[in-house]
Amino acid sequence: MTRVVYESWGQRVVFGSGTARDDVAAEVAGLGASRVLVIAAEGERALAEDICKDVPVVATFGAVRPHVPAEVARAVRAAAHEHAADLLLSVGGGSTTGTAKAAALTTGLPVLAVPTTYAGSEATPVWGLTEDGHKRTGVDPKVLPRVVVYDATLMLSLPTRLSVTSGLNALAHCVDAWWAPRHNPISSALAVEGVRSLASALPRIVADGQDITARREILFGTYLGAVAFAGAGSGLHHKVCHVLGGAYDLEHAALHSVVLPHVVGLNLAAAPGAARYLGAALDAGADPFGALLGLYSRLEPPRSLGELGLAEAELDRACDLVMAQVPDTNPRRVTRDKMRELLGRAHRGDTPVAVPLPTEEHPR
């Protein structure tokens, strides 16, 4: 590459273990906030209350829903105005962080994020809203959390299945960064390290969910992947997942775990650089795709869109919706037939396949 453009996004990130309550209090004070609106789903309300005991909380918003429906976005903005909040503090997974971002988008209020999964949304300026079955996404520096407080001990109670699917969501940020519209050497290098951390640590928490060292490594991998994604943009994998998630309200992290190897199988032959990166990250030698499938076999994540609730009768419509969002910069040309085949395999839970390039098609 003769010319590289990379845009970085500034935020303060604190990594700790067992220090969330102290770290949050210190960071809130550092931001000069005196009226904090806490955003936490009802299932994590008790955790949020404990973490925020030393914080000037004026209210808690609990109506969090996946994919941030427009009515939830309106409600959280109204709550911020009603309570004259000067800081939005999210405690939870990607849906919770996304809800805080929805409020920040129009209010301009700063966000302090305390993640409890490996969604990675806390490290990106990307927002998403769903209305009438369509998920809109955009990029705005206002929604990037000003501060992120990571605490590995908050992940110890995360069920194995959610740990795996959320971790594979983080891994998808890394992989998509290798062929996203703004892919660049800096994001790609971050993504390699992200995959390396995630691939090493995820099997260890499947074996022992209380492995705090592995949990810390996954947080580092999550952060690296999210920063890589923020720098490179949204590639084919995320376009597929955003469309399907918004249209059919599918479980977000599990959706990523199902779709990722199928997109990798489609793109890898046309993306030799991505193949090298994936091979290096997985120490895979000449078969990076096989190494990815080997990782999947150790983690045993969900494998089919049917299992997640997508009806077979919807596949043709789903294909049309996805085709409208395929990036022009994808490393290979994606035809409707190819996408329909991909969705069919993903729906059935078939073993992902490496799709060879036709002799007349060359890598972009």
The residues with which 135 forms a beta bridge, in sequence order, are 130
In a domain, 363, yes or no: no
pLDDT at residue 178, as a whole number: 97
Domain shared by 93 and 112, yes or no: yes
Domain shared by 147 and 228, yes or no: no
Domain shared by 252 and 290, yes or no: yes
pLDDT at residue 169, as a whole number: 96
Tokens representing residue 76 in the block: 């959280």
In a domain, 252, yes or no: yes
Q: How far apart are CA 123 and CA 257, in angstroms?
A: 20
Domain shared by 132 and 172, yes or no: no
pLDDT at residue 132, as a whole number: 87
**DSSP string computed for 234-278:** --HHHHHHHHHHHHH---HHHHHHHHHHHHHHHHGGG-HHHHHHH
Domain shared by 128 and 165, yes or no: no
Q: How many other CB atoms sit within 10 Å of the CB of residue 182?
A: 16
The residues with which 111 forms a beta bridge, in sequence order, are 88
The b/e string for 190-215 (b: 16+ C-beta within 10 A; e otherwise) is bbbbbbbbbbbbbeebbeebebeebb
Last residue of a domain, one of 135, 155, 175: 155
Contacts of residue 180, Cβ cutoff 8 Å, sequence gap at least 6? 187, 229, 232, 233, 234, 235, 238, 327, 329
Per-residue 3-state assignment (H helix, E strand, C coil) for 184-215:
CHHHHHHHHHHHHHHHHHHHHHHHCCCCHHHH
In a domain, 303, yes or no: yes
Domain shared by 227 and 252, yes or no: yes
Q: How far apart are CA 98 and CA 92, in angstroms?
A: 10
In a domain, 25, yes or no: yes
In a domain, 231, yes or no: yes
In a domain, 103, yes or no: yes
Q: How far apart are CA 302 and CA 296, in angstroms?
A: 10
CA angle centred on 30, ends 89 and 111, rounded to 5°: 25
Q: How far apart are CA 268 and CA 290, in angstroms?
A: 12
Q: Are 234 and 139 in contact (CB under 8 A)?
A: no
Last residue of a domain, one of 155, 183, 215: 155
Q: Are 90 and 97 in contact (CB under 8 A)?
A: yes
Residue range(s) defining the domain that contains residue 111: 12-155
Q: Could you tell me the CATH number of the domain that includes residue 28? A: 3.40.50.1970
Q: Could you tell me the CATH number of the domain that includes residue 230? A: 1.20.1090.10
C-alpha closest to that of 334 among 216, 248, 235, 223: 235
pLDDT at residue 360, as a whole number: 65
Domain shared by 146 and 165, yes or no: no
Query: What does the DSSP 8-state code read for residue 126?
Result: E
Domain shared by 171 and 130, yes or no: no
In a domain, 232, yes or no: yes
Among positive and negative, which fits the CA dihedral 229, 231, 237, 242?
Answer: positive
The residues with which 61 forms a beta bridge, in sequence order, are 39
**DSSP string computed for 61-83:** E----TT-BHHHHHHHHHHHHHT
Q: How far apart are CA 312 and CA 95, in angstroms?
A: 26
In a domain, 301, yes or no: yes
Domain shared by 192 and 73, yes or no: no
Domains of the chain: total: 2
Domain shared by 243 and 312, yes or no: yes
pLDDT at residue 174, as a whole number: 98
pLDDT at residue 362, as a whole number: 62
Q: How far apart are CA 110 and CA 121, in angstroms?
A: 15
Q: How far apart are CA 74 and CA 296, in angstroms?
A: 39
Domain shared by 138 and 174, yes or no: no
DSSP three-state, residue 132: coil
Q: Are 301 and 261 in contact (CB under 8 A)?
A: no
Helix (H) or strand (E) run with residue 28 in it: helix 20-31
pLDDT at residue 8, as a whole number: 87
The pLDDT profile of the chain, 364 residues, written as one tens digit per residue, is 578 888 888 899 999 999 999 999 999 999 999 999 999 999 999 999 999 999 999 999 999 999 999 999 999 999 999 999 999 999 999 999 999 999 999 999 999 999 999 999 999 999 999 998 888 989 999 999 999 999 999 999 999 999 999 999 999 999 999 999 999 999 999 999 999 999 999 999 999 999 999 999 999 999 999 999 999 999 999 999 999 999 999 999 999 999 999 999 999 999 999 999 999 999 998 899 999 999 999 999 999 999 999 999 999 999 999 999 999 999 999 999 999 999 999 999 999 999 998 876 666 6
Last residue of a domain, one of 121, 155, 189: 155
Domain shared by 237 and 116, yes or no: no
Tokens representing residue 112 in the block: 């302090």
